[in-house]
Amino acid sequence: MDAQPVIELDHIVTRFGTQSVHDGVSLSVNRGEMVALIGGSGSGKSVLLKELVGLIKPTAGTARLFGEDVWAADGAQLNRLRQRFGMLFQDGALFSSLTVEQNVAVPLLEHTPLPKPECLRLARLKLGLAGLPQSTATKMPSELSGGMRKRVALARALALDPELLFLDEPTSGLDPISARAFDRLIRVLSDGLGLTVFLITHDLDTLLSIIDRVIVLADHQVLADGTVAMLQKINDPWLRDYFSARARIEEL
């Protein structure tokens, strides 16, 4: 595995008025890793992700992707950076007025000189990569199940052959069988395509099955960074409750 950091956050401070969200958050993700970010509701996980992709500017600190300072980049530089990563939003964020293949083709139409027929052909290939049959290509998002819409959103995130994939709660709203199938798909794609994956999740089964490393946000900072086994040994109230919740469910 290449040890070059793909993601670097250095002493990130985020405040909205008098509300402090982050107070010196530092972390890094190396090329080829699959890393999960966890934390309680309101701990600032999604805000941190938006700071990384250039949607929210932190109050202080540095966010770097591929060694480039996201917030020092001009418009052209930021656009080039965004073509190197894919993003799957929590709700999928599909365009309801476009067909499935048209949704997946949007990044290709926006960022490449390819003609529309070629973009649609490539979109169908990405749908296959995400485990969807070709028959879904001409359907509307409203005609698909929640799990299939997640896969369409994943296909769109993969449209430009990114090096880095951001996933925001990828298994939320899915039944346990669909969630585990989605986890396996992400792991296969990460290993097969050499993707670096950074995801936000509350799903303990995701951590236990596919994640290399877990970063925990708490009290505006990074509480812990390590494997699931390492985190289970930390004497912290939130982490104890998080891991004991699974044990209680298994006892039912």
pLDDT above 70 covers a percentage of the chain that reads 95
Q: What is the mean pLDDT of residues 187-211?
A: 94
Q: Which two tokens stand for residue 25?
A: 């958050």
Measure the N-to-C terminal CA separation of the chain; round to a whole number of Å. Answer: 41
Residue with tokens 């020092």: 72
Strand order in the sheet with 164-168: 85-88, 164-168, 196-200, 34-39, 213-218, 221-226
241-249 own/partner pairs: CB under 8 Å, 24+ apart: 242/38, 242/204, 243/204, 245/204, 246/204
Classify residue 95: in a domain, yes or no: no
Q: Which amino acid is at 209?
A: S
Q: What is the mean pLDDT of residues 195-203?
A: 94
Q: What is the mean pLDDT of residues 158-185?
A: 93
Classify residue 20: in a domain, yes or no: yes
pTM confidence score: 0.91
Torsion from C-alpha of 226, 229, 234, 239, nearest 10 degrees: 90
pLDDT tens digits, residue range 20-78? Answer: 999 999 999 999 999 999 998 889 999 999 999 999 999 999 999 999 999 999 988 98
Classify residue 186: in a domain, yes or no: no
List C-alpha distances in Å: 242 to 47, 99, 107, 137, 196: 21, 39, 37, 39, 26
Domain CATH for 230: 3.40.50.300
Classify residue 92: in a domain, yes or no: no
pLDDT tens digits, residue range 122-171? Answer: 999 999 999 999 999 999 999 998 889 999 999 999 999 999 999 999 99
* pLDDT, mean over the chain: 91
Report the alpha-carbon distance of residue 245 to residue 144 in Å, rounded: 32
Domain carrying residue 2:
1-84+193-252
Q: pLDDT at position 41, please?
A: 84
Report the alpha-carbon distance of residue 143 to residue 100 in Å, rounded: 10
Residue ranges of E strands in the chain: 5-16, 19-30, 34-39, 60-65, 68-69, 85-88, 164-168, 196-200, 213-218, 221-226
pLDDT tens digits, residue range 91-106? Answer: 768 999 999 999 999 9
Is residue 10 helix, strand or coil? strand
- Beta strands 19-30 and 5-16, pairing class: antiparallel
Q: What is the mean pLDDT of residues 193-217?
A: 94
Classify residue 224: in a domain, yes or no: yes
Classify residue 166: in a domain, yes or no: no
Residue 150, Cα to own-chain centre: how many angstroms?
A: 12
102-109 own/partner pairs: CB under 8 Å, 24+ apart: 103/141, 103/152, 103/156, 104/152, 104/155, 104/156, 104/159, 105/159, 106/156, 106/159, 107/156, 107/159, 107/160, 108/159, 108/160
List C-alpha distances in Å: 64 to 51, 129, 196, 214, 228: 10, 29, 15, 19, 26
Q: pLDDT at position 124, please?
A: 96
If one counts the domains in the chain, the total is: 1
Classify residue 233: in a domain, yes or no: yes
Classify residue 236: in a domain, yes or no: yes
| pLDDT at residue 213 tops 80 | yes
Q: pLDDT at position 92, please?
A: 67
With cut-offs at 50, 70 and 90, classify the pLDDT of residue 1: very low
Q: pLDDT at position 246, please?
A: 60
pLDDT tens digits, residue range 65-76? Answer: 999 999 999 988
